[in-house]
Amino acid sequence: MLSLLSESIKIAISSIISNKTRSLLTGLSIIIGISTVTLMGTLISGLDRGFDRSMDFLGKDVLSISRWEWFGNLEWWEVRNRPRIKIDYIDKIKERSKYAEAVAPVLQRGASLSKGDLGARSQIFGTTPDYLKTTNYGVAEGRFFTKGEDRSGARVALLGSDVAENLFPNQDPIGKYFKIDGIRFKALGVMEKQGKFLGLFSFDTQVIIPSGTSQRLFSKRGFLRISVKVPEDKISESKDEIYGIMRQIRGLKPKEKDDFAVNQTEAFESTYNQIKFAIGGVGIFITVLSLVVGGIGIMNIMFVSVKERTKEIGVRKAIGATRNMILTQFLMEAIMICVIGGVIGLSFAAVLSLIINQFFPSTMPIWLAITSISLSVFVGVIAGVVPSYRAAGLDPIDALRYE
């Protein structure tokens, strides 16, 4: 059996080599189909990893109170006219909530950073030491600021890893000074490297300062949100409770609409799944279309090949070749065309994946490569089985007489 298979593979490869152009054109649709399905799979796999990492950073058990919904269909002007979130809401939430484990403000604004001749643009986050409890973002070097430094409005800061590298290249930034919009700050530490959120923007370009300092120096700029850490097994109950507390704080009547938003990562997950479904649907459609067209093309070429080699089939049968030998030979030829096309498509997708990964998360798992090659073999079997049966069923006398 192994010798028959080996001989069939040799004959198939020889036939493909002798008709290189025809084989390449025949396998073009297979190349396109396998490239599409593989590239789609690598993108989705990379997106899944990046999304999970980003959601881990945000925290599934963290609620974000803001004027703005992360996703929604409200008119911009309607949200824009909502009252601002106030810093004193934090104490009220702490007093009234039985689920809130930590509550921290996040006053966010853009700013220019400078250190000598070096400069960068960054997002400044004004918060409290409780911020560390509302995120999985930790301190890699140095320390976080204390409650005393927050209350006194100390000009101290934690740097994102990219900021530290840009302002203090080949230096230890801890204890050194830099400027935020021309105001002198001392670097207390460097935050853990996080990478890009969904491959779009980086958390490593931010600077964290005490909320007291942010209010004193930049109170009229930026916007405020409140992060609330809740028990992981009580997220739904906690969200309902926070909604109720916020409506009380805002003084809303029962029939009045919310003039605030309580966001959580579930909103990202729902939107992400819709996007992933759309990408996957388009990719599958293109893949199926390419493979069907490729399979039909290979089937037609195999019929032509059987007709061209009718006399050869007659000679082989006359000297003892069995029906199974002829069947295996032509079936293997169809499979080899598809496998070669699949390998080329897989290689093309792998190269593109490496290029895309420089700008957007894209990884190719081993199972995806195996699936792509298996799909190529499947198409080869489907496309080659009918022509192979026809070749195997030829009468040796009629085949020898064929001109």
Q: What is the DSSP string of 298-328?
A: HHHHHHHHHHHTHHHHHHHHHTT--HHHHHH
* pLDDT attached to residue 2: 58
- 292 is written with which tokens? 């069907």
* pLDDT above 90: percentage of residues in the chain: 13
Supply the pLDDT for residue 144.
93
What predicted TM-score, i.e. pTM, was given to this entire model? 0.65
Residue 252: predicted pLDDT: 86
pLDDT tens digits, one per residue of 293-305: 778 888 887 787 7
- Report the candidate in 297, 317, 264 with the shortest Cα–Cα distance to residue 22: 297
Residue 155 and residue 209: Cα distance in Å, rounded?
8
Q: What digits encode the pLDDT tens for the residues 59-113?
A: 678 888 888 877 766 676 677 778 888 888 999 999 898 888 899 998 988 889 9
Q: What is the pLDDT of residue 45?
A: 76
The residue extents of the domains of the chain are 2-54+270-401, 62-98+230-263, 102-229
| Residue numbers in the chain where pLDDT is lower than 50 | none
Q: What is the pLDDT of residue 402?
A: 58
State phi, psi for 180 to the nearest 5 degrees.
Answer: -115, 115
